[in-house]
Amino acid sequence: MTAAPDHTPLPRDFFERSPLDVAPDLLGRLVVRNTPDGPLTLRLTEVEAYAGEMDPGSHAYRGRTPRNDVMFGPAGHAYVYFTYGMWHCLNVVCFPEGHAGGVLLRAGEITEGTALARPRRTTARHDRELAKGPARLATALDVDRELNGADFCAGPHAPLRLLTGAPVASRDVSTGPRTGVAGEGGVHPWRFWIAGDATVSPYRPHTPRRRNRT
C-alpha cells in the first residue's frame, strides 16, 4: 500500500539551495503541465545538476547572457533552452537570486495526460518512452521557449508547477556522470535517477561533432 502522492506545491525555498541538493530531492516529485487541452502530470525519475558559474558543464559558466539570464534570477522558475536546432530542454532554476544554477529535468513517467502526450511523441513505441530523455520530456509536455522564465511556484492554473509527490529514499537513488557533457564538466557524478526505473534514459558520453572533411 502506497499513499497517494501529495499534491502540495513545493515552496520557493525548496529551490533556493544548491542544485546538488535539489536534484536528488526532485526524484519522485510531480511536474504538472497545464495546457489548453488539459493537464499532464509527470513523475520525475531522472535529473542532472548544473552548478552555474563554477561549473564548466553549465550554460552559465561563461557568465550571464541573454539565453541563460533566467538562471541568474529567482529560484523556482523554468529555464528552457533550444538546442541542436530542433529540441527544447526544461530546467528548474536553483540558488538564491544572483547565483546561477539549475536542475535539468531529464526523464519521467507520465501519470496523467498520456493521451495528450502520445500524438506529440509518435516515435515512442511504449508509454515509458514518452519522456525518456530531456528533449523527449519537453516535447511530451509541450514545453518550448515561451515557457522560459515561467514560475513553478505560481498558482494552481500556472502552465508549469512542481508538486510534492512522493520523494524517493536515498537508497533508491543512483548517481553517475552527467550525460553528454563535454570535458571536465563531465567528470562529476551529478546525474541522479531512480534505481531500476524503466523511464530513465540510457547514459551516453559526450561525442564531439565530426568536422567537415577537407
Partner DNA sequence: CAGTCGATTCACT
Partner DNA sequence: GTGAATCGACTGA
**CB contact at 8 A, 148 and 79:** yes
The residues that touch DNA, with contacts defined as CB under 7 A, are: 48, 50, 57-60, 62, 65-68, 71, 79, 82-87, 89, 91, 102, 104, 121, 123-124, 133-137, 178-182, 201, 204, 206-212
Q: What is the grid cell recorded at 181?
A: 557533457
Least spacing, CB of residue 1 vs DNA, in Å: 34
Query: Between residues 96 and 156, which has the closer beta carbon with respect to DNA?
Result: 96
Query: Between residues 137 and 168, which has the closer beta carbon with respect to DNA?
Result: 137
Least spacing, CB of residue 6 vs DNA, in Å: 26
Tell me whether strands 38-50 and 30-35 are parallel, antiparallel or unpaired: antiparallel
Query: Between residues 16 and 87, which has the closer beta carbon with respect to DNA?
Result: 87
Least spacing, CB of residue 64 vs DNA, in Å: 8
Least spacing, CB of residue 201 vs DNA, in Å: 6
Least spacing, CB of residue 53 vs DNA, in Å: 11
How far is the C-alpha of 39 from the C-alpha of 156, rounded, in Å?
A: 11
Query: Between residues 41 and 179, which has the closer beta carbon with respect to DNA?
Result: 179
Query: Between residues 6 and 144, which has the closer beta carbon with respect to DNA?
Result: 144
